[in-house]
Structures are given as C-alpha cells and as structure tokens.
C-alpha cells in the first residue's frame, strides 16, 4: 500500500473505533434505558429499531447515486455532524425520550445510513484483499478494547442516572471524529455513470458469490446485526436485574476477543475461513440448545459467551468477503450498486426480525422469547453454511 493509503487505513481504524462507542450507546444501553423507563419495553425497543433500520435501507438507496459520483467522504462527514446533533437531541429530551421513540429511531437511522454505507465503500477503496485480514483483525481488536471499557463506563453512568454526562461525552467524541476523518484523502477516481441497480442485478444475479453474499447479509440482519443482540440484552437484565452487570459480563467476554482478533489479524489465512465457520456454527447451535433445555444463569452465560466471541469471527469473515467481492473484476465497476443492494438485504433481515419481536411484545410473553432465540440462532447456522459455501467457491477458483 502507498503511504497515503496507509495513512487512510490508520485513520479509518481510529474513526471506526470511535464510532463503536456510539453503537454501544445506541444499541445495548438504549435497550437497557428503555427497559427501565417504559412499561411496554419490548414493543418500544422494536419500534425504535424498526424505524431506524427502515431509514438505513431507504437512505442507502436514495443517496446511492450521489455517493457513486464521488461524495462518500462528504456523506460520512455529514453523518458525524448528524451524530453530534442527535446526541444534543438526547441531552435536550433526557427522560422524555420515551415519548419520541419513533423519531429517535429515524434520527439514528439517518446517522447509521450516513456513516455505515459510505464507510464500507471507503474501506473497499483503500484496503486491498492482501491486507484485508490484517486490517479487520487489528480493527476488531481495538474495537473490543473500546467494548471492554465503554460498557463499564456507560453502564455506570446510566445505572446511576448520569445521563447528561454520558451524552455530553459522546457528543464531544463526534467533534474529535470529524477532525480525524477530515484528514482522509479520497483516491483518484475515474468518471462513473449514474447508478444503475437494474443493470448490475441482471449482470450479477447468476454469480455464485454475489448470491451467497446477499443470503448471508439477510441472515446477518436477522441475527447478529439485528434482534439477537437485543434479545441477549433483555435476558441479561431479566436474569441479573441490572445493566451494570450487563457491562461486566460483556466486558469480560470482549476482553477474550481482543487477543483472539489480534491472532486472527497476524496468523489467519483465507483457507482457514471454512474451519472457523464450521466451528462457530457448532458452538452457537450447541449453546442455544443447552440454554433452551437447561434455562439458568450458567447456560445463558455460556450462550452469551458463544454469541460475543464466536459470532464475532463470523462477522469479521463476512466483512472481509464483502469488501473483497466489491473489488472483483465483475463487480468493481458497479461497486456502489453492490453495496446498495447489500444494504437492502441486510435491512430486510433486520426489519423482519424486529417485526417478529414487535409481535412478541404485543401478543406474547417473556418466556416465549427463548424459542424466538432458538429460531434466530438457526439463522446464524444458515449464515455460517452460506459462508462455508462461499469460501469453498473462493478456494476452488483462487479468487483471493
């Protein structure tokens, strides 16, 4: 990589680590806050996420053409500004947030769309396949250091009602992130035609690796990037009665992944992916079955361990494949269209899973949720199976 590309890569890692703090607040601890403040918590949590992910998918489609013509860095910077405004909105509302749950979902759906979609394109532009495993391994190690510290800090703040201090701290990070991200330089780009999703779909719908990736993204949206994390948060608070213990448990498991991801970045090769995915599927399915048949704190902690540690490697492998496919000869000209469709499949999975959770909140009871947990975990196995097929194909044709 060139010196400029190296600098861009380091800045991408730092800004993404900062963004992980926002994710923790908007995900795990937003769920915790709603659980403690609302009577219909499962319903409210579902509405919050549904409105958020609907806007992520819609805005990815609506802004796709603008981003394709070279505005992806500007789009991300707008996302940082939107993040700052969003946290100021939180400061203003404080406990009154529960009266504006759909609007909160819209605001943070805009934040996610402005950041996640262009960030993926920027990574694909700057990190080649030969460096992608190292990039993702080191990135996840650093993000897990953030994960270890942030749940403890944010859990302490939220448990002891220092809500204003928490949001003020996160808003300050937005300013710092903007300054860092402004140092990233866009690579030279040739003139591209307007976005044409229909043509791209016709040209690539029969490509094995493109079809498999879209199936994986749907399963991912249904599970590890969707409702599954929320369900684990619900169960943790239900079993342990406090979100501070949630922070302690999550931090302990993420501490393990710091070392494992560092090993992944240094030692893992593409031909190891199939074995990792097979082991991940076995562990996750085994842990959820143990929890269903022996529902107690110990079996849940084991399941939580498998979810945090094992599925993280699945997510990393999926990300690596996603970025690398974007730069294959058949796709690179339509890289923007590829990521737009990817966002739509991911969003569809999220919307389906949170709609199901909403139905449980309206008509079910807490005990039934463990069977929903089992149902979702089956999609984790399906995600792993499609990942194995995808990497078998890559190994056979020596794609990477």
Q: What confidence tier does 365 reach under pLDDT thresholds 50, 70, 90?
A: low
**DSSP conformational letter for 341:** H
Rounded to 5°, the CA angle 189-193-198 comes to: 125
Sign of CA dihedral 252, 388, 395, 202: negative
Higher-pLDDT residue of 30, 392: 392
Chain segment 271-282, per-residue pLDDT in tens: 889 999 999 889
Give pLDDT, residue 224.
Answer: 85
pLDDT of residue 396: 65
Query: Which among 29, 251, 28 is positioned nearest to 162, based on CA atoms?
Result: 29
- Mean pLDDT on 63-84: 83
Distance, CA of 306 to CA of 301 (rounded, Å): 9
pLDDT band at 215 (very low <50, low <70, confident <90, very high): very high
Encoded tokens for 78 = 């707008």
Cβ(344)–Cβ(293) under 8 Å?
A: no
Question: Stretch 90-96: mean pLDDT, rounded?
Answer: 73
285-299 confidence digits (pLDDT tens) = 898 889 888 888 788
Architecture of the domain delimited by 3-183+193-397:
Up-down Bundle (1.20)
Question: Domain residues of the chain, as ranges?
Answer: 3-183+193-397
Q: What value does the mean pLDDT of the chain take? A: 81
Tell me the pLDDT tens digit for each residue of 219-276: 999 998 878 777 777 777 676 665 555 556 767 787 888 888 888 888 888 888 999 9
Q: What is the pLDDT of residue 1?
A: 45
Residues 6 or more apart whose CB falls under 8 angstroms from that of 5 comprise 126, 127, 187
Quote the tokens at residue 133: 């495993």
Q: Are 106 and 57 contacting, i.e. CB atoms less than 8 angstroms apart?
A: no
**Measured distance CA(381)–CA(61) in Å, rounded:** 29
The pLDDT of residue 179 is above 90: no
């Amino acid at each position: 990589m060139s010196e400029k590309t190296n600098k861009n890569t380091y800045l991408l890692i730092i800004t993404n680590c900062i963004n992980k703090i926002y994710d923790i607040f908007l995900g795990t601890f937003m769920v915790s806050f709603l659980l403690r403040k609302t009577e219909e918590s499962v319903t409210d949590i579902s509405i919050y996420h549904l409105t958020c992910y609907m806007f992520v998918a819609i805005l990815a489609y609506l802004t796709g053409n603008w981003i394709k013509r070279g505005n992806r860095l500007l789009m991300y910077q707008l996302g940082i500004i939107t993040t700052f405004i969003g946290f100021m909105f939180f400061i203003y509302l404080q406990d009154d947030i529960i009266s504006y749950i759909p609007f909160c979902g819209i605001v943070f759906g805009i934040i996610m769309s402005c950041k996640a979609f262009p960030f993926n394109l920027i990574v694909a532009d700057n990190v080649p396949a030969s460096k992608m495993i190292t990039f993702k391994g080191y990135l996840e190690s650093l993000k897990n250091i953030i994960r270890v510290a942030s749940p403890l800090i944010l859990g302490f703040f939220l448990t002891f009602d220092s809500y204003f201090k928490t949001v003020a701290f996160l808003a300050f990070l937005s300013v710092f992130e903007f300054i860092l991200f402004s140092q990233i330089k866009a690579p030279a780009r040739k003139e591209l035609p307007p976005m044409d999703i229909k043509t791209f779909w016709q040209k690539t719908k029969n490509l094995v690796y493109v079809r498999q990736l879209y199936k994986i993204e749907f399963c991912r949206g249904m599970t590890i990037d969707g409702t599954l994390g929320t369900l684990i948060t619900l169960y943790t608070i239900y079993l342990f009665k406090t979100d501070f213990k949630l922070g302690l448990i999550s931090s302990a498991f993420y501490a393990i992944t710091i070392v494992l991801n560092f090993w992944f970045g240094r030692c893992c090769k593409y031909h190891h992916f199939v074995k990792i995915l097979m082991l991940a599927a076995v562990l996750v399915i085994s842990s959820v079955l143990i929890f269903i048949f022996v529902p107690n704190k110990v079996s849940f902690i084991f399941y939580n361990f498998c979810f945090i540690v094992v599925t993280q490697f699945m997510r990393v492998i999926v990300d690596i494949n996603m970025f690398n496919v974007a730069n294959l000869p058949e796709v690179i000209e339509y890289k923007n269209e590829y990521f737009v469709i990817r966002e739509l499949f991911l969003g569809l999975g999220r919307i389906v899973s949170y709609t199901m959770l909403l139905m449980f909140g309206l008509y079910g009871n807490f005990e039934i949720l463990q069977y929903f947990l089992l149902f979702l975990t089956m999609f984790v196995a399906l995600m792993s199976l499609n990942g194995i097929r995808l990497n078998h194909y890559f190994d056979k044709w020596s794609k990477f």
